[in-house]
Structure 1
Amino acid sequence: MQLKDVGEFNFIHSIQDNTIYDPATVVNGIGDDCAVYKSSIGYDQLISTDTMVEGIHFSFHYMMPYDVGYRLMTANLSDIAAMGGIPRQVVLSVAAEEYVDTDILQDIYRGIKDQCRRFGVNLIGGDTVRIKGPMVWTITIIGEVPFGQSVLRSGAKVGDIVGVTNYIGYAATGLAALTHSLQGYSMTTIGHQRPNPQIELGIQLRELGIHSMNDISDGLSSELWDIAQASQVAIIIDEARVPLHEETYKLAASLQTNPVDYALYGGEDFQLVFTAPKSLESSLQDLDGITIIGEVIEGTPSVQAITKDKTIRTLDGKGYNHFHE
């Protein structure tokens, strides 16, 4: 059935079930002009928004509608993880053509709701509008963090070590495999279609006392540049220490590309990159999924890498940029 046959309000009613997963924080959810939620005493509030446009951020050639919702929710949750925060509420806006099949919309919502359920996040409102052109989905997420404990990009200090969570370049590997119709990349393909945010690790890192953090949505190089510029420091990493999945090495050999570039410039892993005092190194290594890849040094803002042949190259501050061809 098409959206025009269902109508805006009937469609909204159809997706209202299973939207509240932490009722203690909600006074009133979907149904009024505004939702009403409770903020926690002793916490700062976090808010972020993210938009995915059909044909730019996702394609139904490479993922199912469920994956689109799952990935959109992950992108928003990852912003909260990057602050060391706890996600609480989301509001959601969708713009779609009147002829779109409502089953597609329902499956996208199912992906969003499953991620909300997993992390105890409430879907408390939003909007549905008609558009001529590609589908557009926007989520605004609200989270919280103990007073004064948000982990910012601007906190890196000379002498810090630089670390990352899990594998980097995972999603870019999966996308490249899908784009080239290559078989044998099941792990990274799933990583592209259904990445997961690092909420738990973000909280653990914040509680340990790290100095700065960023999520890896636009590529490791770009995110390191964000930290370097915000903190007015220089960063150097060892390319050999960047954790890459075996499928990334396999793909790079097949396509004759540099495997580490999938991590540096690929993006959408939704992992975390952070800096921390060196005194925390042993505690960090006790956490699952943490790899130390470099250090913060004196100098004007820059990001450099030690290559496999032991030369030093300056990394571009590039990742995915919506306004750059």
Structure 2
Amino acid sequence: MILKHLMELYEILDDPKASGEKVKEYLLQVNPQADVETYPVHGEKGHTDMVRVRVPGKNGKSKGGTAPTIGLLGRLGGIGARPEVTGFVSDGDGALAALSAAAELLSMAKKGDLLEGDVFLSTHVCPDAPTLPHKPVPFMNSPVSMVEMNREEVVEELDAILCVDTTKGNRIYNKKGIAISPTVKEGYILRVSEDLLSVLETVTGELPGVFALTTQDITPYGNGVFHLNSILQPSTATKAPVVGVAITTQSIVAGCASGATHFEDVETAARFMIETAKSFGAGNCLFYDVEEYNRLLSLYGPMNHIQTLGKESLHA
């Protein structure tokens, strides 16, 4: 049961001594055969613990099969902003959703409910991340650069990526729950996947929510332009199609705010990712129309330069 895992993981993460090792211990209790790794990643502003989980599918690449592999990434700056803020912060919802999905998939695998394709899940655990000035509300910062995060989370084997992130500190999408983005692939913002909209409708029981994206949002951090948040940063480091899964609110809530985690919304995000993984591995969920994408390439050429820091970095 995802909600059970979510509540137990919250107890582990809502702790100044939270660590990747404690999360790994929990996941191994769920499934002693789990493929879980954790290790520290150091940056200029401190360190964080990466947590990566691989759940093999019955026809997945790890077993020599042909089913595609999906990545479920929990994006965040940190689960805590100590000593400035006491307790688990809103920004930690992305990690909580991804880890809850990992625990549920491991529990399913232990029972014999295997998905068709492999699933790769990744996030990180940092209880004392720094904050960053941002309008309309402050961002959570990260002790490790976005380039390093992408290097650890966006692995070569992924055929598609869902990236879940708290997306509450904006005026772009103002409804409590979850919403998805259009598909982003190699610098193109493509049409919203009809298959993902169908999964979202089924999971939420409501009309699907879609949040707006701009070109700025899919460029790498560090180029000096405004970003909604980091939810589409994995798209700057891969050829795979990427879709953001936003955990949202009606009011503007800072990422560094405590007491702002709504379990029902985090659980819905985790459930959406699992249901998408089921359909994607089975070949029943397309993130984008291949023919239409190729048509765009033939008409307008590649947009890979959007995945870079631009001309100034080339001149430097």
What is the TM-score normalised by the length of structure 1? Answer: 0.32
What is the TM-score normalised by the length of structure 2? Answer: 0.32
